[in-house]
Structure 1
Amino acid sequence: MSEGSSGYVAAMPLLINSANRQVAGFAVATIGWILGTVSMGLVEWRIWYMNNTSLFPSRLASVGMWRVCIYHHVNNSSRATTCHHYTYHDTYLPLDIRVPQNLLLVASILGLLEKASIIFALRNVYIGILEKKATCNSFITSGILNIAAGICIFMAVFWNYYSVMNKEGIAFPPSFNMPFKPDTQRIGSAIVVACLAAFMILLSGLFFLSYKFPLDSQVHPEVSEM
C-alpha cells in the first residue's frame, strides 16, 4: 500500500468520529420532524368549553389547524363526535389559524430539505470524501434549515397560545353549530407535541452547526515512487 493511501485510510476514522454528534443530531431532527408533522394534523390545539343551550347543545370542541371536532353527549356513558374539515381557502378562518397553518407547512418543507442536506453531508463523511468545503457547507445548511423550521413551529405555537389567552373567537359557518366564542377555552395537547418538536429540531440544528472538520484528516494522497 502506498504512503498516500495509508494516510487516507488512517484519516477516515478521525473523519467519521468527528461527525458522531451530527449523527445524533440527525436522529433527533428526524424525531422532531415527525412530531412536528403529527402536531400539524392533531385537532387538540384549542379546547373550547360551551354551556349547554338550545342553540349550541355541544359542551366540548377541539379546534385544530385543519379541522374542528365537536363532542355531543349522547348519554352518561357515551358521546358522539362530529368533525368538520377546512382549508386555507375558507374565508371564515381568522389569521390566527391561517398564519400557523402556513408556518407549520413551511416547517415541514424545511425539514424535508434538511434531510436531503444532512444525508449528503453524512454520506461524504462515511465514504471518506475529504472535501472540507462541501461537507461543512452541507452541515451548515442543515443547521440553518433546522433552526428556521424550529422557529416556524414556535411561532405557530405562540400565535395559538396568544389567541387562547386573549379568548379570540372564530366565525364558523352556521352548519358547524358552533358559537363565535366559547364560554372558556384552553390550549390543548397538540401544543405540547409541537413544542417538543420545535425544541428537538432547534437542538439538532445546533448540533449540525457545531461540526468541525478535523484538520488531521486533510490528507492528499501521493503517488509513491516505485
Structure 2
Amino acid sequence: MILLINSAHCQVAGFAVATVGWILSTICMGFAEWRVWYMNNTSLLPSGLARVGMWKICIYYHADNFYRATSCYHYTYCDTFLPLDIRIAQNLLLIASILGLLGKASITFALRNVYMGILRKNATCNAFVASGILNIAAGVCISVAVTWNYHSVMNEEEIAFPPYFYVPFKPDAQEIGNAIIVACLAAFLMLLSGLCFLSYKFPLDSHVCPEILEI
C-alpha cells in the first residue's frame, strides 16, 4: 500500500493542476474580452471600444479620457448573426468544461483506490488513463477555440451584430483580449495534468504479504 501511495504523488499534484485548469476554463467562457474592437468617432456612433466574448459583448464609449461601460448584450443559440467560429468555440468550451469535470471524477476515484489501499490494478490504472485522456481532450478543445479566435482577429473578420447593439459591421481596429491568456493557461494546465495521469505506473510489487507469527 505504501508503494501505491508513493507512486501516486505526481498524480496528486496533477489533480491540483487539473482543478486549477478546469476552473480557469470555466471562467474564460464568461469573459467578454476574447476580442477587443476599437471604433472611431463617426456621425452615427461616438468613439469607443467593444469587448467581444463567446457569450456576450460589452460596449464602452470614450468620455472624459476614459472608457465608460454603457451596455452588455448576451448571446443565445438562436442568434443567427454569430459567425461560425464563435458558435464552434462556444461548443468547444462547453465540451472542455464537461470533459474536465468527468476527468476530475475519474481521478478522484483512482486516488481513492490508492489511498484506501484498494489493490485493483485494472480499475485503478484504467481510471488514471481515462482521466488523462479526458483532460488532454479538454485541453485540445480549449486550444482549438483559442487558435480559431486568434486567426479571426488576425484576419480582422467582421461580425454582423444587430443594429440596436450600435456596433459597426467591422471595427477600425481589433486585437485579441485578455481572455486568451486565461484560456491558454487553462489549456496548458489541462494538457499537463493529462500527461501526468497517463504517466502513472502501478507498482509490480504492491501485493500484500501476510505476517507470519512465530510460535
Q: If the length of structure 1 is used for normalisation, what is the TM-score?
A: 0.91
CA distance in 2, matches of 1:215, 1:197: 34
CA contact (8 A) 2:60 2:67 kept: no
Any idea what the Cα deviations from partners look like across 1:46-79, whole Å, max 9, x if unmatched? 0001111122224211000000000012333562
CA distance in 1, matches of 2:209, 2:124: 16
Partner of 1:198: 187
Per the TM alignment, residue 221 of structure 1 is displaced from its structure 2 partner at its CA by: 5.5
1:37-186 to structure 2, matched below 5 A, reads: 37-76=26-65, 79-186=68-175
Structure number with greater Rg is: 1
Per the TM alignment, residue 218 of structure 1 is displaced from its structure 2 partner at its CA by: 2.6
Any stretches of 5+ residues in structure 2 without a counterpart?
none
Q: 1:81 to 1:224 in 2, by over 3 A?
A: farther
Secondary structure of 1:71's aligned partner: strand
Partner of 1:16: 5
CA distance in 2, matches of 1:145, 1:222: 41
Percent of aligned pairs sharing the same letter: 73
Q: If the length of structure 2 is used for normalisation, what is the TM-score?
A: 0.95
CA distance in 1, matches of 2:183, 2:66: 32
Any idea what the Cα deviations from partners look like across 1:107-158, whole Å, max 9, x if unmatched? 0000110111000000000000011000000000000000000000000000
Secondary structure of 2:205's aligned partner: helix
Per the TM alignment, residue 197 of structure 1 is displaced from its structure 2 partner at its CA by: 0.4
CA contact (8 A) 1:28 1:201 kept: yes
CA contact (8 A) 1:136 1:211 kept: yes
Letter in 1 for 2:204: L
Per the TM alignment, residue 220 of structure 1 is displaced from its structure 2 partner at its CA by: 6.6
CA distance in 2, matches of 1:130, 1:72: 63
Matched, 1:210 2:199: yes
Secondary structure of 2:70's aligned partner: strand
Q: 1:220 to 1:89 in 2, by over 3 A?
A: farther
Any stretches of 5+ residues in structure 1 without a counterpart?
1-11
Q: Which moved more, 1:70-79 or 1:31-40?
A: 70-79
Letter in 2 for 1:211: Y
